[in-house]
Amino acid sequence: MHTDAESPRIAVFGAGAVGCYFGGMLARAGLPVTLIGRAQHVEAIRARGLFLDTLQFQQSISVTAATTPEAARDADVVLFCVKSYDTETAARSLAPHLSPSALLVSLQNGVDNVVRIEVATGRHALPAVVYVAAAMAGPGHVKHSGQGRLVVGRLPEQPPELDQRAAQLATLFQSAGVPCEVSKNIQGELWAKLVINCAGNAVSALTRASYARAAAHEPAREVMMATAREAIAVARAAGVALPAADLVEKGLQLAHSLGPATSSTEQDIARGKRTEIDALNGFIVQRGRALGVPTPVNHTLWALVKLLETSLAG
């Protein structure tokens, strides 16, 4: 258990399911955490605490909550958890309120958020690869249904001093019961997660099926595998050193392990919200076109999700 006197102050900017899960775990361990999010969640958290409904425990956590970026002004670590399409706007709104020594950490889908954050803020950000199945079951209520680990590290073009910050961050999360690994190939890890997201997110969204159900259904599984292979081909053409693991098989195993969980893309569609499909399959299509790599399956999934977004918008 931490005490405030010895603990870094944490702010979570974009306190949705991912931000509330990891911020909640840090707060549960005694770290001073401020969740910055939408009014309905903030009001509920202020009134009743953040309810963490996990596979291991169910607990209401007392945590500070706010709706504006000014609340991050005293933070030593800022977990940047907004949707990928909001990266630039959110980063610019946050930048004036960051302390000079604050560590900015991107916990987002996609592979290019850190570069976009750095351009928008003029300061370095540390990438984190997120593996968690979580959803907001209601205002101030996080439902966790699988995984819950992070991989962090600095990109090759970033200064070596960030290695120490990454190690400190990993220790911080580990002390709160969150598995966190430091990788010397974080770019490869980001792309590996992108491959897995591309394979499962759109299929789950278009069919309203859980990851496990999609992976167990042979025709859907074949679509998922073809999608992953296209994304892998794009990564290799881009010169990315992917991890040695069989990412197609790893993705299917992960899908099976997540049981009833659905993708964040499916959750967005269910709520009638914009999805991150442009940062997932859409990104693979864009990069594949630039690199001369065909991506017909990714293009089909991207196009269908975009059409579904348009239909839901009326």
Residue numbers of the domain that contains 294? 187-313
Residues 14 and 124 in one domain: yes
Do 246 and 166 belong together in one domain?
A: no
Last residue of a domain, one of 135, 158, 184: 184
b/e code 120-153 from CB counts within 10 Å (16+ = b): bbeebbbbbbbebbbbbeebbbbbbbbbbebbbb
- Here the tokens at position 142 are 């996080």
With contact defined as beta carbons under 8 Å apart, do 199 and 251 qualify? yes
Q: What whole-number distance in Å separates Cα of residue 298 and Cα of residue 147?
A: 25
- CA 81/CA 12 separation, integer angstroms: 7
Distances from the Cα of 43 to the Cαs of 46, 47, 59, 118, 233, in angstroms? Answer: 5, 6, 18, 31, 46
CATH of the domain at 59: 3.40.50.720
What DSSP character marks residue 70? G
Same domain membership, residue 217 and residue 162: no
- Do the Cβ atoms of 205 and 241 come closer than 8 Å? no
* pTM score of the predicted model: 0.94
User: 1 lies in a domain?
Assistant: no
Last residue of a domain, one of 126, 158, 184: 184
Give dist(CA 142, CA 27) in Å, integer. Answer: 14
Per-residue pLDDT of the chain (314 residues; tens, 9 = 90+): 454 557 899 999 999 999 999 999 999 999 999 999 999 999 999 999 999 999 999 999 999 999 999 999 999 999 999 999 999 999 999 999 999 999 999 999 999 999 999 999 999 999 999 999 999 999 999 999 999 999 999 999 999 999 999 999 999 999 999 999 999 999 999 999 999 999 999 999 999 999 999 999 999 999 999 999 999 999 999 999 999 989 999 999 989 998 888 999 999 999 999 999 999 999 999 999 999 999 999 999 999 999 999 988 76
The last residue of a domain, from among 143, 160, 184: 184
Helix (H, G, I), strand (E, B) or coil at 12: strand
Q: Which regions of 153-221 does DSSP assign to beta strands (E)? A: 180-182
Which of these, 59, 48, 71, 56, lies nearest to 24 by C-alpha position? Answer: 59
pLDDT of residue 3: 46
The label of the residue with tokens 């897995």 reads 196
253's CB contacts (< 8 A; 6+ apart) are: none
Query: How many whole angstroms from its chain centre is CA 117?
Result: 15
Statement to judge: residues 139 and 36 lie in one domain: yes
Of 149, 161, 152, 165, the C-alpha closest to 102 is 165
- Do 42 and 114 lie in one domain? The reply is yes
Are 208 and 262 in a shared domain?
Answer: yes
Q: What is the pLDDT of residue 245?
A: 87
Distances (CA, A) of 303 to 194, 231, 264, 306, 310: 18, 16, 17, 5, 11
Which CATH number covers residue 217? Answer: 1.10.1040.10
What is the distance between the alpha carbons of residues 72 and 228, in angstroms, rounded to a whole number?
38
| Whether residues 176 and 215 fall in one domain | no
Asked whether residue 148 falls in the same domain as residue 48, the answer is yes
pLDDT at 1: 44
Total structural domains within the chain = 2
Please tell me the predicted confidence (pLDDT) of residue 314.
Answer: 67
